[in-house]
Chains A and B, each alone.
Chain A
Amino acid sequence: DIQMTQSPSSLSASVGGRVTITCRASQSISTYLNWYQQKPGKAPKLLIYSASSLQSGVPSRFSGFGSGTDFTLTISSLQPEDSASYYCQQSYSTPYTFGQGTKLEIK
């Protein structure tokens, strides 16, 4: 199975700031990497697919980068509504594993 390791597990940032979340795969997954946002009590929402493609309707302050084993999700111009948990997920091979999540707090 492909293991997905996210870091950090939690972080805090200010409105208007910028954060980067890292996701590392235990083996190469090309660009089969997706990012999701989840708010408490809600279903996850797809933000980025194929490592760097922005899902329709997602603000352009979200961006993804990477290929192979190392990937990043960057959120710029942070807004209060960006407070959420973020998960990476590989869709290269089953089981389609998720990272353990990163909880983002907006100060």
Chain B
Amino acid sequence: EVQLVESGGGLIQPGGSLRLSCAASGFTVSSNYMSWVRQAPGKGLQWVSVIYSGGRTDYADSVKGRFTISRDNSKNTLYLQMNSLRAEDTAVYYCARVATVVRGIITHQYGMDVWGQGTTVTVSS
């Protein structure tokens, strides 16, 4: 079964660090584009970061320089290292697989088709 399971959320003080994990089963993380998306309480969805199959990464401006997306191929797991946390980072964090199709030299993205259940991060003193 294709599945993503997040862990690592919790209550953390402003300025602290936290690492989220997203364990995949049924598919290979390193062969896919993988993203993190968050949702603040009562708010909409916000894209956070992506790691492409080739290893390149990208981030939303609001987390650039503070968050790092990575993966461990041996564990088939995606990570989000979050440093210098702020109150506005409080949210449910979802990991998701990005569906892609390669046509020629271009990889087309077709939405995030597999999602984890989410893990809650609360930044508060």
Binding site for B on A (CB under 8 A): 1, 32, 34, 36, 38, 43-46, 48-50, 53, 55, 85, 87, 89, 91, 94-101
Query: Which of B13-21, B24-32, B39-47, B77-85 lines the interface with chain A?
Result: B39-47
B68 to chain A minimum Cβ distance, whole angstroms, is 16
A34 touches B112 (CB 8 A): yes
B116 touches A43 (CB 8 A): yes
Closest chain B residue, CB of each to CB of A95? B60
The total of chain B residues at the interface (CB under 8 A) is 24
Q: Offer 23 A-B interface pairs, CB within 8 angstroms, sorted by A.
A: A32-B109, A34-B111, A43-B94, A43-B116, A44-B45, A44-B94, A45-B115, A46-B99, A46-B112, A49-B110, A49-B111, A50-B110, A53-B110, A89-B45, A89-B47, A91-B98, A95-B58, A95-B60, A96-B35, A96-B50, A98-B44, A98-B45, A99-B44
Asked if B117 is at the interface (CB within 8 A of a chain A CB), the reply is yes
Closest chain B residue, CB of each to CB of A1? B61
**A50 to B82 Cα, complex, angstroms:** 31
Bitwise, B31-74 to A at CB < 8 A (1) or not (0) is 00001010000001111001000000011110000000000000
**A100 to B45 Cα, complex, angstroms:** 7
Instruction: Name which of B47, B58, B59, B111 has the most chain A CB atoms within 10 A of its CB.
Output: B111
Instruction: Name which of A34, A53, A91 has the most chain B CB atoms within 10 A of its CB.
Output: A91
Binding site for A on B (CB under 8 A): 35, 37, 44-47, 50, 58-61, 94, 98-99, 108-113, 115-118
Closest chain A residue, CB of each to CB of B62? A95
Known contacts: A43-B116, A49-B111. The answer to whether A94 contacts B44 by CB under 8 A is: no
Closest chain B residue, CB of each to CB of A9? B44
Closest chain B residue, CB of each to CB of A91? B109
**A44 to B36 Cα, complex, angstroms:** 12
**A1 to B61 Cα, complex, angstroms:** 10
